[in-house]
A and B are shown apart, each in its own frame.
Chain A
Amino acid sequence: MTPDLKEHYDYSKWLSEKELTPLEKTYLTILIWADQRLRIVDYLESMENLYYKINMQMPRSHTEQYNLDNKFWYWYPLFALGTFSVIAYIVAAISGALLGFYYSPATAGDPSVAYNQITYIMTDLNFGFMLRSIHRWSAQVMVAAVFLHMLRVYFVGAYKEPRELNWIIGIILISLTLMFGYTGYLLPWDQLSFWAGQIGVEMALSIPILGEWVAQLMFGGFSLGQATLQRMYILHVFVLPFAVTTVIAIHIGIVWMQGIAEPH
Protein backbone atom coordinates (compact mmCIF):
# COMPACT_ATOMS: atom_id res chain seq x y z
CA MET A 1 0.00 0.00 0.00
CA THR A 2 1.27 3.45 -0.83
CA PRO A 3 0.73 5.99 1.89
CA ASP A 4 -1.01 9.16 0.81
CA LEU A 5 1.23 12.00 1.85
CA LYS A 6 -0.34 14.69 -0.31
CA GLU A 7 -1.06 16.90 2.66
CA HIS A 8 2.48 16.76 3.93
CA TYR A 9 3.81 17.68 0.58
CA ASP A 10 1.52 20.43 -0.55
CA TYR A 11 3.67 22.11 -3.11
CA SER A 12 1.42 25.07 -3.84
CA LYS A 13 1.39 25.91 -0.16
CA TRP A 14 5.13 25.56 -0.05
CA LEU A 15 5.41 27.88 -3.04
CA SER A 16 3.14 30.53 -1.58
CA GLU A 17 4.96 30.49 1.74
CA LYS A 18 8.29 31.18 0.07
CA GLU A 19 9.31 34.62 -0.97
CA LEU A 20 10.09 34.25 -4.62
CA THR A 21 10.84 36.51 -7.51
CA PRO A 22 8.48 36.04 -10.46
CA LEU A 23 11.29 34.29 -12.34
CA GLU A 24 11.93 31.83 -9.54
CA LYS A 25 8.23 31.24 -9.11
CA THR A 26 7.66 30.48 -12.78
CA TYR A 27 10.68 28.24 -12.87
CA LEU A 28 9.61 26.25 -9.84
CA THR A 29 6.03 25.96 -11.03
CA ILE A 30 7.12 24.52 -14.36
CA LEU A 31 9.66 22.25 -12.72
CA ILE A 32 7.12 20.88 -10.27
CA TRP A 33 4.47 20.47 -12.94
CA ALA A 34 6.83 18.53 -15.18
CA ASP A 35 8.37 16.55 -12.37
CA GLN A 36 5.02 15.33 -11.10
CA ARG A 37 4.33 13.91 -14.52
CA LEU A 38 7.77 12.80 -15.68
CA ARG A 39 9.72 12.40 -12.43
CA ILE A 40 12.56 14.44 -13.84
CA VAL A 41 14.29 14.40 -10.49
CA ASP A 42 15.28 10.80 -10.97
CA TYR A 43 16.80 11.48 -14.33
CA LEU A 44 18.62 14.58 -13.20
CA GLU A 45 19.94 12.68 -10.27
CA SER A 46 21.24 9.80 -12.27
CA MET A 47 22.82 12.26 -14.70
CA GLU A 48 24.52 13.94 -11.83
CA ASN A 49 25.77 10.61 -10.56
CA LEU A 50 27.08 9.82 -13.98
CA TYR A 51 28.81 13.16 -14.16
CA TYR A 52 30.55 12.66 -10.88
CA LYS A 53 31.51 9.12 -11.65
CA ILE A 54 33.02 10.07 -14.96
CA ASN A 55 34.44 13.49 -14.40
CA MET A 56 35.31 13.96 -10.79
CA GLN A 57 37.04 10.65 -10.43
CA MET A 58 39.21 10.81 -13.51
CA PRO A 59 42.88 10.47 -12.87
CA ARG A 60 44.79 13.61 -13.49
CA SER A 61 45.75 14.27 -17.04
CA HIS A 62 49.27 13.92 -18.25
CA THR A 63 49.97 17.64 -18.17
CA GLU A 64 48.81 17.82 -14.60
CA GLN A 65 50.74 14.79 -13.50
CA TYR A 66 54.02 15.89 -14.96
CA ASN A 67 53.43 19.50 -14.30
CA LEU A 68 54.02 20.35 -17.91
CA ASP A 69 52.23 23.65 -17.47
CA ASN A 70 52.25 25.58 -20.66
CA LYS A 71 54.42 23.13 -22.55
CA PHE A 72 51.20 21.86 -24.06
CA TRP A 73 49.74 25.15 -25.03
CA TYR A 74 51.90 26.11 -27.92
CA TRP A 75 50.22 23.29 -29.78
CA TYR A 76 46.83 24.74 -29.03
CA PRO A 77 46.02 26.41 -32.36
CA LEU A 78 46.41 23.06 -34.07
CA PHE A 79 44.05 21.46 -31.59
CA ALA A 80 41.36 23.91 -32.64
CA LEU A 81 41.22 22.52 -36.16
CA GLY A 82 38.60 19.92 -35.31
CA THR A 83 36.42 22.63 -33.81
CA PHE A 84 37.01 24.76 -36.89
CA SER A 85 35.75 21.91 -39.05
CA VAL A 86 32.58 21.87 -36.98
CA ILE A 87 32.11 25.63 -37.20
CA ALA A 88 32.60 25.62 -40.97
CA TYR A 89 30.18 22.70 -41.20
CA ILE A 90 27.55 24.66 -39.32
CA VAL A 91 28.02 27.74 -41.48
CA ALA A 92 27.75 25.57 -44.59
CA ALA A 93 24.62 23.91 -43.23
CA ILE A 94 22.88 27.20 -42.54
CA SER A 95 23.80 28.85 -45.84
CA GLY A 96 23.01 25.61 -47.65
CA ALA A 97 19.57 25.38 -46.09
CA LEU A 98 18.87 28.92 -47.28
CA LEU A 99 20.11 28.14 -50.79
CA GLY A 100 17.84 25.12 -50.77
CA PHE A 101 14.81 27.40 -50.92
CA TYR A 102 15.79 28.57 -54.38
CA TYR A 103 17.57 25.71 -56.07
CA SER A 104 15.91 22.82 -57.82
CA PRO A 105 17.64 19.83 -59.34
CA ALA A 106 16.29 19.49 -62.85
CA THR A 107 18.13 19.15 -66.13
CA ALA A 108 15.10 20.02 -68.27
CA GLY A 109 14.80 23.51 -69.69
CA ASP A 110 17.18 25.79 -71.47
CA PRO A 111 19.95 25.17 -70.60
CA SER A 112 18.61 23.56 -67.43
CA VAL A 113 16.48 24.49 -64.46
CA ALA A 114 19.37 23.82 -62.11
CA TYR A 115 21.69 26.14 -63.99
CA ASN A 116 19.03 28.80 -64.32
CA GLN A 117 18.28 28.70 -60.63
CA ILE A 118 21.93 29.21 -59.77
CA THR A 119 22.04 32.12 -62.19
CA TYR A 120 18.90 33.47 -60.60
CA ILE A 121 20.42 33.16 -57.13
CA MET A 122 23.56 34.93 -58.29
CA THR A 123 21.96 37.78 -60.19
CA ASP A 124 18.39 38.42 -59.06
CA LEU A 125 17.93 37.08 -55.56
CA ASN A 126 18.65 39.57 -52.78
CA PHE A 127 21.80 38.48 -50.99
CA GLY A 128 21.89 35.42 -53.25
CA PHE A 129 25.37 36.09 -54.56
CA MET A 130 26.62 36.46 -51.02
CA LEU A 131 24.80 33.36 -49.86
CA ARG A 132 26.29 31.19 -52.58
CA SER A 133 29.72 32.61 -51.91
CA ILE A 134 29.45 31.87 -48.20
CA HIS A 135 28.24 28.36 -48.86
CA ARG A 136 31.04 27.67 -51.31
CA TRP A 137 33.73 29.10 -49.09
CA SER A 138 32.57 27.48 -45.88
CA ALA A 139 32.67 24.15 -47.69
CA GLN A 140 36.19 24.80 -48.94
CA VAL A 141 37.31 25.91 -45.51
CA MET A 142 35.75 22.86 -43.91
CA VAL A 143 37.60 20.50 -46.23
CA ALA A 144 40.85 22.35 -45.62
CA ALA A 145 40.33 22.30 -41.88
CA VAL A 146 39.55 18.59 -41.93
CA PHE A 147 42.72 17.83 -43.89
CA LEU A 148 44.83 19.88 -41.51
CA HIS A 149 43.08 18.37 -38.51
CA MET A 150 44.00 14.94 -39.80
CA LEU A 151 47.62 16.04 -40.20
CA ARG A 152 47.77 17.35 -36.67
CA VAL A 153 46.32 14.07 -35.41
CA TYR A 154 48.98 12.23 -37.39
CA PHE A 155 51.96 14.28 -36.32
CA VAL A 156 50.94 14.34 -32.70
CA GLY A 157 50.51 10.57 -32.77
CA ALA A 158 46.97 10.94 -31.47
CA TYR A 159 45.73 8.02 -33.55
CA LYS A 160 47.47 5.46 -31.37
CA GLU A 161 45.89 3.31 -28.72
CA PRO A 162 43.28 3.95 -27.37
CA ARG A 163 42.13 6.20 -30.19
CA GLU A 164 42.30 3.83 -33.17
CA LEU A 165 38.56 3.76 -33.47
CA ASN A 166 38.30 7.52 -33.65
CA TRP A 167 40.99 7.61 -36.32
CA ILE A 168 39.00 5.18 -38.44
CA ILE A 169 35.83 7.17 -37.84
CA GLY A 170 37.88 10.17 -38.95
CA ILE A 171 38.77 8.43 -42.21
CA ILE A 172 35.06 7.82 -42.74
CA LEU A 173 34.39 11.48 -41.95
CA ILE A 174 36.93 12.83 -44.37
CA SER A 175 35.57 10.55 -47.09
CA LEU A 176 32.05 11.75 -46.39
CA THR A 177 33.25 15.36 -46.37
CA LEU A 178 34.86 14.91 -49.77
CA MET A 179 31.68 13.28 -51.02
CA PHE A 180 29.78 16.28 -49.73
CA GLY A 181 32.03 18.53 -51.74
CA TYR A 182 31.82 16.39 -54.84
CA THR A 183 28.03 16.08 -54.86
CA GLY A 184 27.75 19.82 -54.31
CA TYR A 185 30.14 20.50 -57.17
CA LEU A 186 27.78 18.74 -59.56
CA LEU A 187 24.68 20.68 -58.57
CA PRO A 188 25.14 23.87 -60.69
CA TRP A 189 25.14 21.58 -63.72
CA ASP A 190 27.63 23.66 -65.62
CA GLN A 191 30.50 22.38 -67.73
CA LEU A 192 32.74 21.78 -64.70
CA SER A 193 29.98 19.85 -62.94
CA PHE A 194 29.12 17.79 -65.95
CA TRP A 195 32.63 16.67 -66.73
CA ALA A 196 33.53 16.08 -63.11
CA GLY A 197 30.43 13.90 -63.06
CA GLN A 198 31.68 12.13 -66.16
CA ILE A 199 34.94 11.26 -64.42
CA GLY A 200 32.95 10.08 -61.43
CA VAL A 201 30.88 7.67 -63.50
CA GLU A 202 34.00 6.35 -65.19
CA MET A 203 35.73 5.86 -61.84
CA ALA A 204 32.70 4.05 -60.50
CA LEU A 205 32.57 1.85 -63.57
CA SER A 206 36.22 0.87 -63.20
CA ILE A 207 35.76 -0.52 -59.72
CA PRO A 208 36.37 -4.24 -60.13
CA ILE A 209 33.26 -6.47 -59.96
CA LEU A 210 30.95 -3.94 -58.28
CA GLY A 211 31.50 -1.18 -60.84
CA GLU A 212 28.23 -1.18 -62.73
CA TRP A 213 26.22 -1.60 -59.59
CA VAL A 214 27.96 1.35 -57.93
CA ALA A 215 27.48 3.52 -61.02
CA GLN A 216 23.78 2.70 -61.05
CA LEU A 217 23.39 3.37 -57.38
CA MET A 218 25.31 6.62 -57.16
CA PHE A 219 24.81 8.14 -60.59
CA GLY A 220 21.52 6.59 -61.64
CA GLY A 221 22.96 5.09 -64.82
CA PHE A 222 26.04 4.98 -67.00
CA SER A 223 25.59 8.35 -68.64
CA LEU A 224 24.75 11.61 -66.95
CA GLY A 225 21.25 12.99 -66.87
CA GLN A 226 18.32 13.92 -64.70
CA ALA A 227 18.74 10.81 -62.57
CA THR A 228 22.34 11.75 -61.81
CA LEU A 229 21.54 15.29 -60.77
CA GLN A 230 18.65 14.15 -58.63
CA ARG A 231 20.76 11.56 -56.86
CA MET A 232 23.52 14.06 -56.23
CA TYR A 233 20.95 16.45 -54.82
CA ILE A 234 19.42 13.90 -52.47
CA LEU A 235 22.86 12.78 -51.36
CA HIS A 236 23.91 16.37 -50.79
CA VAL A 237 20.90 17.69 -48.94
CA PHE A 238 19.42 14.61 -47.30
CA VAL A 239 21.65 11.57 -46.93
CA LEU A 240 25.00 13.19 -46.23
CA PRO A 241 23.79 15.81 -43.75
CA PHE A 242 22.26 13.12 -41.55
CA ALA A 243 25.20 10.80 -41.95
CA VAL A 244 27.87 13.43 -41.35
CA THR A 245 26.09 15.01 -38.41
CA THR A 246 25.66 11.66 -36.73
CA VAL A 247 29.23 10.58 -37.32
CA ILE A 248 30.61 13.93 -36.13
CA ALA A 249 28.54 13.56 -32.97
CA ILE A 250 29.98 10.10 -32.38
CA HIS A 251 33.48 11.31 -33.18
CA ILE A 252 33.33 14.19 -30.74
CA GLY A 253 31.53 12.07 -28.18
CA ILE A 254 34.46 9.69 -28.24
CA VAL A 255 36.90 12.58 -27.84
CA TRP A 256 34.86 13.68 -24.87
CA MET A 257 35.01 10.21 -23.35
CA GLN A 258 38.68 9.64 -24.01
CA GLY A 259 40.05 13.12 -23.58
CA ILE A 260 42.47 14.81 -25.93
CA ALA A 261 45.76 13.07 -26.48
CA GLU A 262 48.50 15.39 -25.38
CA PRO A 263 51.87 15.26 -27.00
CA HIS A 264 54.48 14.13 -24.52
Chain B
Amino acid sequence: MKRKTYKKQKDNVEFPILTDGSGLMQNPVPPDDQTPSWSERKSRSTGLAQLTYEYFERARLEDQDIRSRADYLEREVLGFPMWPHEVVRGFAITSFFIGIILLLSAVAPPHIAAPANPSQTPAVILPDWYLYWSFGLLKLEPLNPALSILGGDKIMLDRTFGVLANLVVVGFLAALPFVNKGKARRPVEEPFWAAFGVAGVVFAFTVSVLSVKNLVPLNSHLLFDLTFILPVLFGIVFYSLLKTMREGYMYELNRRYYRLRPPKPYRPPKPPK
Protein backbone atom coordinates (compact mmCIF):
# COMPACT_ATOMS: atom_id res chain seq x y z
CA MET B 1 0.00 0.00 0.00
CA LYS B 2 1.32 3.41 -0.93
CA ARG B 3 1.47 5.91 1.87
CA LYS B 4 2.34 9.54 1.68
CA THR B 5 3.57 11.24 4.79
CA TYR B 6 2.90 14.84 5.56
CA LYS B 7 4.12 16.93 8.42
CA LYS B 8 1.33 18.19 10.54
CA GLN B 9 1.99 21.84 10.76
CA LYS B 10 1.20 22.65 14.32
CA ASP B 11 3.15 20.16 16.32
CA ASN B 12 5.27 18.65 13.57
CA VAL B 13 4.12 15.14 14.26
CA GLU B 14 4.35 12.85 11.33
CA PHE B 15 1.20 11.17 10.33
CA PRO B 16 0.28 9.18 7.28
CA ILE B 17 -2.45 10.35 4.94
CA LEU B 18 -4.04 7.67 2.85
CA THR B 19 -5.89 8.69 -0.24
CA ASP B 20 -7.38 5.28 -0.64
CA GLY B 21 -10.40 5.75 1.56
CA SER B 22 -8.93 5.27 4.96
CA GLY B 23 -8.22 8.97 5.25
CA LEU B 24 -6.28 10.80 7.87
CA MET B 25 -6.74 8.51 10.78
CA GLN B 26 -4.60 5.51 10.75
CA ASN B 27 -6.74 2.49 11.12
CA PRO B 28 -6.25 1.10 14.62
CA VAL B 29 -6.74 -2.35 13.17
CA PRO B 30 -4.65 -2.28 10.02
CA PRO B 31 -6.20 -4.02 7.05
CA ASP B 32 -4.67 -7.40 6.41
CA ASP B 33 -3.23 -8.40 3.09
CA GLN B 34 -6.53 -9.50 1.77
CA THR B 35 -8.31 -6.22 2.28
CA PRO B 36 -8.13 -4.44 -1.03
CA SER B 37 -7.10 -0.80 -0.94
CA TRP B 38 -9.01 1.73 -2.94
CA SER B 39 -6.48 1.65 -5.71
CA GLU B 40 -6.79 -2.08 -5.93
CA ARG B 41 -10.54 -1.93 -5.93
CA LYS B 42 -10.33 0.73 -8.60
CA SER B 43 -8.13 -1.35 -10.81
CA ARG B 44 -10.41 -4.34 -10.43
CA SER B 45 -13.57 -2.46 -11.26
CA THR B 46 -14.72 -1.24 -14.63
CA GLY B 47 -17.11 1.30 -16.03
CA LEU B 48 -19.11 3.47 -13.66
CA ALA B 49 -17.69 1.85 -10.57
CA GLN B 50 -14.17 2.60 -11.71
CA LEU B 51 -15.08 6.18 -12.51
CA THR B 52 -16.51 6.52 -9.02
CA TYR B 53 -13.27 5.36 -7.45
CA GLU B 54 -11.29 7.65 -9.67
CA TYR B 55 -13.42 10.59 -8.64
CA PHE B 56 -13.18 9.71 -4.95
CA GLU B 57 -9.46 9.54 -5.21
CA ARG B 58 -9.29 12.97 -6.82
CA ALA B 59 -11.63 14.43 -4.20
CA ARG B 60 -9.50 12.99 -1.42
CA LEU B 61 -6.38 14.42 -2.95
CA GLU B 62 -8.03 17.80 -3.16
CA ASP B 63 -9.01 17.69 0.49
CA GLN B 64 -5.55 16.68 1.38
CA ASP B 65 -4.02 19.47 -0.61
CA ILE B 66 -6.30 22.03 1.02
CA ARG B 67 -5.50 20.67 4.43
CA SER B 68 -1.80 20.71 3.89
CA ARG B 69 -1.98 24.37 2.87
CA ALA B 70 -4.36 25.59 5.49
CA ASP B 71 -2.94 26.57 8.80
CA TYR B 72 -6.06 25.85 10.78
CA LEU B 73 -6.33 22.14 10.49
CA GLU B 74 -7.84 21.63 13.86
CA ARG B 75 -9.82 24.16 15.75
CA GLU B 76 -8.48 25.13 19.06
CA VAL B 77 -11.87 25.92 20.52
CA LEU B 78 -14.52 23.69 19.08
CA GLY B 79 -17.47 25.38 20.68
CA PHE B 80 -19.34 25.86 23.86
CA PRO B 81 -19.74 22.76 25.95
CA MET B 82 -22.91 20.82 25.29
CA TRP B 83 -23.56 20.57 28.99
CA PRO B 84 -24.58 22.76 30.63
CA HIS B 85 -24.23 25.69 28.26
CA GLU B 86 -26.03 24.52 25.15
CA VAL B 87 -28.49 22.25 26.91
CA VAL B 88 -29.64 24.93 29.30
CA ARG B 89 -29.95 27.50 26.58
CA GLY B 90 -31.81 25.12 24.31
CA PHE B 91 -34.11 24.14 27.13
CA ALA B 92 -34.80 27.77 27.98
CA ILE B 93 -35.60 28.71 24.38
CA THR B 94 -37.74 25.63 23.89
CA SER B 95 -39.75 26.12 27.05
CA PHE B 96 -40.25 29.77 26.23
CA PHE B 97 -41.52 28.89 22.80
CA ILE B 98 -43.82 26.11 23.99
CA GLY B 99 -45.00 28.54 26.65
CA ILE B 100 -46.06 30.95 23.92
CA ILE B 101 -48.04 28.21 22.19
CA LEU B 102 -49.75 27.26 25.44
CA LEU B 103 -50.49 30.88 26.27
CA LEU B 104 -52.06 31.44 22.87
CA SER B 105 -54.17 28.32 23.19
CA ALA B 106 -55.33 29.38 26.63
CA VAL B 107 -56.15 32.92 25.57
CA ALA B 108 -57.79 32.27 22.25
CA PRO B 109 -59.14 28.73 21.95
CA PRO B 110 -60.73 27.88 18.61
CA HIS B 111 -64.43 27.45 18.23
CA ILE B 112 -66.40 25.44 15.77
CA ALA B 113 -68.75 26.74 13.09
CA ALA B 114 -72.16 25.34 12.21
CA PRO B 115 -72.06 21.82 10.80
CA ALA B 116 -71.42 21.32 7.10
CA ASN B 117 -74.44 22.07 5.01
CA PRO B 118 -74.04 21.64 1.23
CA SER B 119 -77.29 23.42 0.46
CA GLN B 120 -76.43 26.65 2.23
CA THR B 121 -73.48 28.67 0.94
CA PRO B 122 -72.16 30.90 3.73
CA ALA B 123 -71.57 34.60 3.04
CA VAL B 124 -67.87 34.30 3.73
CA ILE B 125 -65.87 31.33 2.50
CA LEU B 126 -62.35 31.34 3.77
CA PRO B 127 -59.45 29.02 4.24
CA ASP B 128 -57.08 29.58 7.17
CA TRP B 129 -55.11 32.81 7.02
CA TYR B 130 -51.96 31.21 5.69
CA LEU B 131 -53.72 30.27 2.48
CA TYR B 132 -55.19 33.73 1.82
CA TRP B 133 -52.38 34.56 -0.58
CA SER B 134 -53.16 31.51 -2.65
CA PHE B 135 -56.87 32.26 -2.44
CA GLY B 136 -56.17 35.83 -3.53
CA LEU B 137 -54.25 34.61 -6.56
CA LEU B 138 -57.46 32.87 -7.63
CA LYS B 139 -59.12 36.26 -7.89
CA LEU B 140 -56.89 37.80 -10.51
CA GLU B 141 -59.38 37.38 -13.34
CA PRO B 142 -59.02 41.04 -14.50
CA LEU B 143 -55.47 40.11 -15.50
CA ASN B 144 -56.53 37.11 -17.53
CA PRO B 145 -55.96 38.43 -21.05
CA ALA B 146 -58.91 38.60 -23.41
CA LEU B 147 -57.56 38.17 -26.90
CA SER B 148 -59.19 39.66 -29.94
CA ILE B 149 -58.01 36.71 -32.06
CA LEU B 150 -60.26 34.56 -29.94
CA GLY B 151 -63.13 36.98 -30.58
CA GLY B 152 -62.64 38.64 -27.20
CA ASP B 153 -62.60 35.34 -25.37
CA LYS B 154 -60.16 34.86 -22.58
CA ILE B 155 -57.33 32.46 -23.25
CA MET B 156 -58.36 30.23 -20.41
CA LEU B 157 -60.90 29.87 -17.68
CA ASP B 158 -60.43 32.37 -14.87
CA ARG B 159 -60.17 29.47 -12.48
CA THR B 160 -57.40 27.88 -14.47
CA PHE B 161 -55.64 31.22 -14.64
CA GLY B 162 -55.74 31.47 -10.85
CA VAL B 163 -54.33 27.99 -10.35
CA LEU B 164 -51.58 28.71 -12.86
CA ALA B 165 -50.77 31.94 -11.00
CA ASN B 166 -50.19 29.81 -7.91
CA LEU B 167 -47.93 27.47 -9.83
CA VAL B 168 -45.98 30.39 -11.26
CA VAL B 169 -45.35 31.90 -7.83
CA VAL B 170 -44.20 28.62 -6.30
CA GLY B 171 -42.21 27.74 -9.40
CA PHE B 172 -40.43 31.07 -9.34
CA LEU B 173 -39.54 30.62 -5.69
CA ALA B 174 -38.13 27.19 -6.41
CA ALA B 175 -36.03 28.59 -9.24
CA LEU B 176 -34.72 31.49 -7.16
CA PRO B 177 -31.26 30.09 -6.38
CA PHE B 178 -30.65 29.67 -10.09
CA VAL B 179 -31.90 33.16 -10.91
CA ASN B 180 -30.00 35.11 -8.29
CA LYS B 181 -26.53 33.71 -7.98
CA GLY B 182 -23.35 35.07 -6.57
CA LYS B 183 -21.81 35.45 -3.18
CA ALA B 184 -23.63 38.50 -1.87
CA ARG B 185 -25.59 37.88 1.30
CA ARG B 186 -26.48 41.10 3.01
CA PRO B 187 -29.41 43.07 1.65
CA VAL B 188 -27.21 46.14 1.09
CA GLU B 189 -25.01 44.18 -1.21
CA GLU B 190 -27.87 43.52 -3.58
CA PRO B 191 -30.43 46.29 -3.21
CA PHE B 192 -32.49 45.00 -6.09
CA TRP B 193 -33.05 41.56 -4.65
CA ALA B 194 -33.73 42.87 -1.18
CA ALA B 195 -36.28 45.31 -2.58
CA PHE B 196 -37.74 42.49 -4.64
CA GLY B 197 -38.15 40.46 -1.48
CA VAL B 198 -39.84 43.33 0.29
CA ALA B 199 -42.19 43.77 -2.66
CA GLY B 200 -42.93 40.05 -2.51
CA VAL B 201 -43.78 40.18 1.18
CA VAL B 202 -46.00 43.23 0.68
CA PHE B 203 -47.67 41.50 -2.26
CA ALA B 204 -48.37 38.47 -0.10
CA PHE B 205 -50.21 40.81 2.26
CA THR B 206 -52.08 42.81 -0.37
CA VAL B 207 -53.15 39.74 -2.29
CA SER B 208 -54.33 38.25 0.99
CA VAL B 209 -56.47 41.31 1.55
CA LEU B 210 -57.75 40.99 -1.99
CA SER B 211 -58.86 37.45 -1.19
CA VAL B 212 -61.24 38.79 1.47
CA LYS B 213 -62.31 41.74 -0.63
CA ASN B 214 -65.96 41.42 0.32
CA LEU B 215 -64.94 42.21 3.90
CA VAL B 216 -62.82 45.25 3.02
CA PRO B 217 -64.61 48.60 2.91
CA LEU B 218 -62.86 49.75 -0.27
CA ASN B 219 -63.93 50.06 -3.86
CA SER B 220 -62.94 46.73 -5.38
CA HIS B 221 -61.21 48.30 -8.40
CA LEU B 222 -59.18 50.50 -6.12
CA LEU B 223 -58.34 47.49 -3.99
CA PHE B 224 -57.26 45.54 -7.03
CA ASP B 225 -54.99 48.35 -8.18
CA LEU B 226 -53.54 48.81 -4.71
CA THR B 227 -52.77 45.10 -4.62
CA PHE B 228 -50.19 45.68 -7.30
CA ILE B 229 -49.20 49.29 -6.72
CA LEU B 230 -48.33 48.98 -3.04
CA PRO B 231 -45.74 46.23 -3.48
CA VAL B 232 -44.03 48.14 -6.25
CA LEU B 233 -44.08 51.28 -4.16
CA PHE B 234 -42.55 49.54 -1.17
CA GLY B 235 -40.01 47.94 -3.46
CA ILE B 236 -38.95 51.30 -4.84
CA VAL B 237 -38.71 52.88 -1.42
CA PHE B 238 -36.56 50.03 -0.11
CA TYR B 239 -34.42 50.04 -3.21
CA SER B 240 -33.63 53.72 -2.83
CA LEU B 241 -33.01 53.34 0.88
CA LEU B 242 -30.59 50.48 0.41
CA LYS B 243 -28.85 52.21 -2.46
CA THR B 244 -28.33 55.23 -0.25
CA MET B 245 -27.03 53.15 2.63
CA ARG B 246 -24.91 51.03 0.42
CA GLU B 247 -21.90 53.21 -0.08
CA GLY B 248 -21.13 53.89 3.54
CA TYR B 249 -22.06 50.41 4.56
CA MET B 250 -20.02 48.60 1.97
CA TYR B 251 -17.11 50.82 2.79
CA GLU B 252 -17.31 49.68 6.37
CA LEU B 253 -17.62 46.05 5.37
CA ASN B 254 -14.78 46.17 2.92
CA ARG B 255 -12.61 47.85 5.42
CA ARG B 256 -13.40 45.23 7.96
CA TYR B 257 -12.70 42.38 5.56
CA TYR B 258 -9.80 43.54 3.49
CA ARG B 259 -7.98 46.36 5.17
CA LEU B 260 -7.82 45.06 8.67
CA ARG B 261 -7.30 41.51 7.55
CA PRO B 262 -5.30 41.34 4.39
CA PRO B 263 -5.64 38.05 2.56
CA LYS B 264 -3.25 35.37 3.70
CA PRO B 265 -0.22 34.97 1.46
CA TYR B 266 -0.16 31.81 -0.58
CA ARG B 267 2.09 29.17 0.80
CA PRO B 268 3.07 26.38 -1.55
CA PRO B 269 2.12 22.89 -0.41
CA LYS B 270 4.68 20.89 1.44
CA PRO B 271 5.98 18.25 -0.86
CA PRO B 272 5.52 14.65 0.22
CA LYS B 273 8.68 13.09 1.52
Contacts and interface: CB of A to CB of B under 8 A. Distances in A.
Interface string B97-122: 11011101110111011111110111
A199 B135 contact: yes
B51 interface: no
Contacts of B114: 190-191
B115 A190 contact: yes
Given A88-B101, A115-B116, A206-B163, A144 B109 contact: no
Contacts of B135: 199
B194 A115 contact: no
A136 B182 CA distance: 40
A59 B70 contact: yes
Contact of B109 (A55, A129, A193): A129
The SS class assigned to the A binding surface is: helix
Nearest to B193: A157
B101 A171 contact: no
Interface stretch (A14-22, A29-37, A162-170, A247-255): A162-170
Interface string A50-69: 00110111111000101110
Interface residues of A, number: 81
Interface residues of B, number: 76
B106 A160 contact: no
B143 interface: no
Contacts of A188: 112-113
B83 to A, nearest CB: 18
Interface stretch (A4-12, A98-106, A177-185): A177-185
Interface of B: 23-25, 28, 66-67, 70, 72-75, 78, 93-94, 97-98, 100-102, 104-106, 108-110, 112-118, 120-122, 125-131, 134-135, 138, 156-157, 159-160, 162-164, 170, 173-174, 176-178, 180-187, 189-190, 193-194, 197, 201, 253, 256-257, 261
Interface of A: 45, 49, 52-53, 55-60, 64, 66-68, 80, 83-84, 87-88, 91, 107, 111-112, 115, 118-119, 122, 129-130, 132-134, 136-138, 140-141, 143-144, 147, 151, 154-161, 163-164, 167-168, 171, 175, 178, 181-182, 185, 188-196, 198-199, 202-203, 205-208, 224, 261-264
- The 6 A-B pairs with the shortest beta carbon distances in the complex, nearest first, are A111-B115, A194-B116, A164-B177, A133-B105, A206-B159, A157-B185
6 contacts: A91-B98, A136-B109, A141-B101, A151-B197, A191-B120, A199-B127
Given A59-B66, A157-B184, 7 more contacts: A57-B24, A91-B98, A134-B101, A137-B101, A157-B193, A168-B177, A199-B135
